[in-house]
Structure formats: structure tokens, C-alpha cells
Amino acid sequence: MLNLYTFWRNTVKNFSVTGAIAPSSHSLAEHITAMLALKKKPARVLEVGAGTGVVTEEILTILGPGDHLDICEINPHFINFLRKRFQEEDAFKNASCHVDLFPCDVQKIPVDKPYDYIVSSLPFNAFEPNTVQKILDYYLQILKPSGWISYFEYIGIRPVKAFFSRSQEKERIQGVEKVVKQFINQNEIFHDHVWLNLPPAYVRHCQKKD
């Protein structure tokens, strides 16, 4: 319940950053970590836009000794909530992998080695097209060859928003659509529909080509 309260309180204050109306469901968390769950060796993992830690908790059930998890969350209220979870909740404080938290823009994280997996919950629909382009390009830049990027987006949100928006906002949304569609065409391996989420979502699994 505290998780939900924290999310809604900060969504109202910072909707342009959170870009969601409810925390991710457990079903979405399972789907977005599906490729990570198949890992066969120690991995470096980056989670971006961790929010209140729904997906983080699922990631921690998969990772073990030898694994490394970097968590990026720009919202100071969410990062403080995550720190509290790592201090107080067994599922977090007993994590057997190495964990680092970064309260900053993803492009400001110091990356000394590329990642095997990037799990992203960033609300691309809330950003400018050039921002989305820079983030997706950066994901590819810091990913190992044949590494995986898994992210989600709400089903049908962009067309609905574009239909009801005025010209400037419609142009922004269409720009985001163009950037995301190009990324999908070039990198997506497969996607899932997650109906048990509010709103329902696509989970897209993309792989950096060798």
C-alpha cells in the first residue's frame, strides 16, 4: 500500500517525468525480465526508471553472486523510497548481487563496462522525440554485442493522445512514434502483450546486432 501511495503522490506532482497512472504490475515485471531470467552466466544489468521498485524486486529474484545491478531513477522521492526498501525489506536488503543506485539522468551514469541487459521503464511518450532518440542510441552504445534491451509501452496510448491533442502536442507525439517505430524495426526480436497491467502494455525485447 505504501508503494502505491508513494507512486500516486509523485505521479500527481511529476506526471511529465513518471508518465504513468499506476505502478507496473507483477505480470509486467515478469514479462520485462523474461530474457534476463534466461541468463546462463554472471551479468551486468542496468535498470532505468525503477520507480517504486516493482521491476527491481523481480530482477533481484533472478540475480545472484557475481551479478551486478545498476539502478537509475531520476525522481528524488522514488530514489529515497528505493533506498528505504534496500534498508528495510528482506527481498531488497538480502540481495546477493552487487547493487548501485544512481539518482540521475541515465546518460550521466559512469559506465566502465558495457551491460548484458538493459531493463527500461522510461515513459517515452512523455518526452521530446530528440530525447527519446538520444536515450535509445545511448542504450545501444552501452550494451554489449548481442545484449538485450527490454522495455514497455502502453498499448494504443500514442494514437489516442495524438487524436485528442492540439497541433504542437500532436506533432511531438508523432515524432516520438517515428523514433520508436524506427528503433523497433531495426532492433526488436519479439514482443509480448501484457493485459494484466494498468493500462495494458507491450513489452518489447530488442537485441543489439553484432
Give pLDDT, residue 163: 76
Q: Does some domain include residue 19? A: no
Q: Answer yes or no: is pLDDT of 97 > 60.
A: yes
Q: Does some domain include residue 202? A: yes
Q: What is the mean pLDDT of residues 34-61?
A: 97
Q: Does some domain include residue 80? A: yes
Q: Answer yes or no: is pLDDT of 55 > 50.
A: yes
Nearest to 101 by CA among 116, 121, 86, 117: 86
- The helix/strand/coil state of 54 is helix
Give pLDDT, residue 167: 87
Give pLDDT, residue 164: 80
Give pLDDT, residue 13: 47
pTM (2 d.p.)? 0.89
Which spans in 19-73 are helix H?
Answer: 26-32, 54-62
Q: What is the mean pLDDT of residues 34-63?
A: 97
Q: What is the mean pLDDT of residues 96-103?
A: 97
Q: What is the mean pLDDT of residues 85-104?
A: 96
Nearest to 19 by CA among 39, 49, 58: 49
Q: What is the mean pLDDT of residues 38-52?
A: 97
Q: Does some domain include residue 16? A: no
Count of structural domains within the chain: 1
% of the chain residues with pLDDT over 70: 90
- Report the CATH number that the domain containing residue 141 is assigned in CATH: 3.40.50.150
Q: Does some domain include residue 17? A: no
Domain range for 83: 2-10+25-207
Strand 188-194 and strand 143-154: pairing? unpaired
**Helix, strand and coil in the chain, % to nearest 5:** 50, 20, 30
Which has the higher per-residue pLDDT, 73 or 159? 73
Q: Does some domain include residue 6? A: yes
- The per-residue pLDDT of the chain, averaged, comes to 90
Give pLDDT, residue 23: 83
Q: Compute the C-alpha angle 135/39/69, nearest 5°.
A: 50
Q: Answer yes or no: is pLDDT of 92 > 50.
A: yes
Q: Which residues pair with 98 in a beta bridge?
A: 68
Q: Does some domain include residue 126? A: yes
> What 3 state SS string does 92-151 have?
HHCCCCEEEEECCCHHHCCCCCCEEEEEECCCHHHCCHHHHHHHHHHHHHCEEEEEEEEE
Q: Does some domain include residue 36? A: yes
pLDDT category of residue 21 using cuts at 50, 70 and 90 = low
Which has the higher per-residue pLDDT, 13 or 170? 170
